[in-house]
Chains A and B, each alone.
Chain A
Amino acid sequence: GEDVEQSLFLSVREGDSSVINCTYTDSSSTYLYWYKQEPGAGLQLLTYIFSNMDMKQDQRLTVLLNKKDKHLSLRIADTQTGDSAIYFCAEGGGGNKLTFGTGTQLKVEL
Chain B
Amino acid sequence: GAGVSQSPSNKVTEKGKDVELRCDPISGHTALYWYRQSLGQGLEFLIYFQGNSAPDKSGLPSDRFSAERTGGSVSTLTIQRTQQEDSAVYLCASSSWTSRGQPQHFGDGTRLSIL
Tell me if B43 and A100 are in contact (CB < 8 A). yes
B71-107 to A contact mask, C-beta < 8 Å, 1/0: 0000000000000000000010100000011011111
* Cβ of A58 to closest chain B Cβ, rounded Å: 13
Q: A33-B103, A41-B108, A45-B105 are in contact. Are A96 and B48 (CB under 8 A)?
A: yes
Tell me if A42 and B45 are in contact (CB < 8 A). no
Q: Which one of A48, A88, A99, A101 lies within 8 Å of B103 (CB-CB)?
A: A48
Tell me if A50 and B101 are in contact (CB < 8 A). yes
Tell me if B33 and A45 are in contact (CB < 8 A). no
Tell me if A95 and B56 are in contact (CB < 8 A). yes
Interface size on B, residues (CB 8 A): 24
Tell me if A43 and B56 are in contact (CB < 8 A). no
Please measure, in the bound complex, the distance between the C-alpha atom of A97 and the C-alpha atom of B48, giving whole angstroms. 7
Q: Residue of B at shortest CB range from A95?
A: B56
Q: Residue of B at shortest CB range from A35?
A: B106
B25 contacts the other chain (CB 8 A): no
* Cβ of B25 to closest chain A Cβ, rounded Å: 13
Please measure, in the bound complex, the distance between the C-alpha atom of A100 and the C-alpha atom of B59, giving whole angstroms. 14
B93 / chain A contacts, CB cutoff of 8 Å: 43
Please measure, in the bound complex, the distance between the C-alpha atom of A40 and the C-alpha atom of B37, giving whole angstroms. 12
B104 / chain A contacts, CB cutoff of 8 Å: 33, 45, 98
What is A's interface to B at a CB cutoff of 8 Å? 30-31, 33, 35, 40-45, 48, 50, 88, 92, 95-103
What is B's interface to A at a CB cutoff of 8 Å? 4, 6, 31, 33, 35, 42-43, 45, 48, 50, 55-56, 59, 91, 93, 100-101, 103-109
Closest 9 pairs (CB-CB, A-B): A100-B43, A97-B45, A31-B101, A42-B106, A43-B106, A42-B108, A42-B109, A45-B103, A96-B48
A–B Cβ pairs within 8 angstroms, 20 of them? A30-B100, A31-B101, A31-B103, A33-B103, A33-B104, A35-B106, A42-B6, A42-B106, A42-B107, A43-B91, A45-B103, A48-B101, A88-B43, A95-B48, A96-B33, A96-B56, A97-B56, A98-B33, A101-B42, A102-B42
